[in-house]
Amino acid sequence: MSYTMNVLEKVKKQNPNEPEFLQAVTETLVSLKPYVDSRPEYEKAGILERLCEPERVILFRVPWVDDSGKVHVNKGYRVQFNSAIGPYKGGLRFHPSVSLSIIKFLGFEQVLKNSLTGLPIGGGKGGSDFDPKGKSDREVMAFCQSFMTELYRHIGEDTDVPAGDIGVGEREIGILYGQYKRIVNSFSSVLTGKGLSYGGSLVRCEATGYGLVYLLDEMLRQHGNSIEDKTVVISGSGNVAIYAAEKVRQLGGKPVALSDSNGFVYDPEGIDISIVKEIKEKNRCRISEYTKYRKHAVYTEGRGIWSIKCDIALPCATQNELTEEDAKELVKNGCFAVCEGANMPSTPEAIHVFLQNKILYVPGKASNAGGVAVSALEMSQNAMRLAWPLEKADQKLKEIMTNIYNNIANTAKEVGQEDNFVVGANIAGFKKVADAMLRQGIV
């Protein structure tokens, strides 16, 4: 058996109860196989074994008291995956589905994603099975303060810099930051996604969604096409989905659908972003509310968003939300491009359908890297004690996403797999991390 497949078998044996983690590792190692197996220096230095094992896993108890005085205990996680090219960097996810497997898959993907940004950031991820939905502001504060009371000792501006993810937006980052500062008595860049009044960067809030569409735009341009007049279906209705939809609109495309975990809304005239912001960001309500504002829009309970006819699909909700059947439906309906805003939203079978049908498919580790890229820019601005104007931050984001596209497209071409951006992203992300690991000895 080849070196790569040997490592994969070992990882499967060692982590039998972590399906999402094994899914992410399998997808990556299978596509790295020809590249890695033809370079014996990687095997000699045990690069893959080390790449697949986090440097550190921190598990902790998060006790907090609800509004009725009842004590709750949630699980807290921080997985510090790989620091070969910079301090650990990656978001915190608060969602009831969070498990060690999910945090490890996200951390593993983050290592390669952060490498693709071209910035000096390693990979990590964290979170909790706490569900902020339906909690009062005081309960969210109680939870976040308790979470940080343990996390603070493991992070630092040169060690590990968390940010937001599902269930962790500006409100949560603000409270986490306040508690960190209170404990350590230091105003440092220990979290990103901060509010603009206390060290946040312009465009961070929009960065993942905007970055996704910048990369899509560049890919279409290089294929003699554009976003203009294209119908776009976007899943989710959180941070990534909202700003992806906004940028699609700005570039002349028409986003026609958004969703949440309850159902999806279809607006054939094009989603009105200001209404979505009001429903989701201001009122923290469900996407079904949209039809109260736009009478001709249709809300459907349950799955099914991928059956809407579109030219471009942008999955921006969560892992494994787009199945083989969904992929076949998209292809049948004429969809020609899929760029992932979420992490690992397409199942392996769905990816197979996209590649077989020559869909322009870009995996999340490349296409959703805009968020972490602007987070790294936030760290730079904090270190310099200055704040860039909007144009500069936005321009940087655009440059980074264009570079990522060129990097993954050129890498795919170099290995004879033109337009296979799965292979391109995995090899391009891996090369830089592996090279740093080779030079740093066996650590």
Long-range contacts made by residues 135-138, C-beta under 8 angstroms, separation at least 24?
135/66, 136/67, 137/171, 138/67
| Residue 117 beta carbon to ligand NDP: minimum distance, rounded to whole angstroms | 11
DSSP helix/strand/coil, 315:
coil
The token pair at 87 is 């301090």
Residue nearest to ligand NDP (CB): 238
Q: Which is nearer to ligand NDP, 4 or 82 (CB)?
A: 82
Least Cβ distance, residue 385 to ligand NDP (angstroms): 24
Sequence-distant (6+) residues with CB within 8 A of 269 are 294, 296
- With respect to ligand NDP, which residue has the nearer C-beta, 3 or 105? 105
Q: How far is the CB of 163 from ligand NDP (least distance, A)?
A: 7
Cβ closer to ligand NDP: 50 or 280? 280
Residue 307 CB coordination number (10 Å): 18
Q: Is 125 a residue of the active site?
A: yes
Least distance between ligand NDP and beta carbon 43 (Å)? 32
Q: Is 417 exposed, middle or buried (0-12, 13-18, 19+ CB in 10 A)?
A: middle
Closer CB to ligand NDP, 311 or 321, in the complex = 321
Report the nearest approach of ligand NDP to the CB of residue 239 (Å).
4
* Nearer of residues 107 and 424 to ligand NDP, judged by Cβ: 107
The least distance separating ligand NDP from the CB of residue 443, rounded to whole angstroms, comes to 28
List 104, 125, 254, 398, catalytic entry: 125
By beta-carbon proximity to ligand NDP, the closer residue of 155 and 166 is 166
3-class secondary-structure state, position 128: strand
Beta strands in 29-70 (DSSP E): 56-65
Q: Report the distance separating Cα 367 and Cα 339, nearest Å.
A: 6
Question: What backbone phi and psi angles, to 5 degrees, belong to 79?
Answer: -110, 115
- How many other C-beta atoms can be found within 10 angstroms of the C-beta atom of residue 359? 19
The binding site for ligand NDP (CB under 6 A) comprises 164-167, 208, 236-241, 260-262, 316-318, 321, 341-343, 368, 371
Shortest Cβ distance from residue 103 to ligand NDP (Å)?
11
Both structure tokens of 323: 């199945």
Q: Distance of CA 393 to CAs 89, 203, 216, Å?
A: 19, 6, 19
Compute CA distances 224 → 219, 247, 360, 404, 420, whole Å: 9, 20, 13, 19, 17
Q: Are 150 and 62 in contact (CB under 8 A)?
A: yes
CA-based torsion, 410, 416, 417, 418: positive or negative: positive
For ligand NDP, give the closer residue by CB, 50 or 95.
Answer: 95
The residues annotated as belonging to the active site are 125
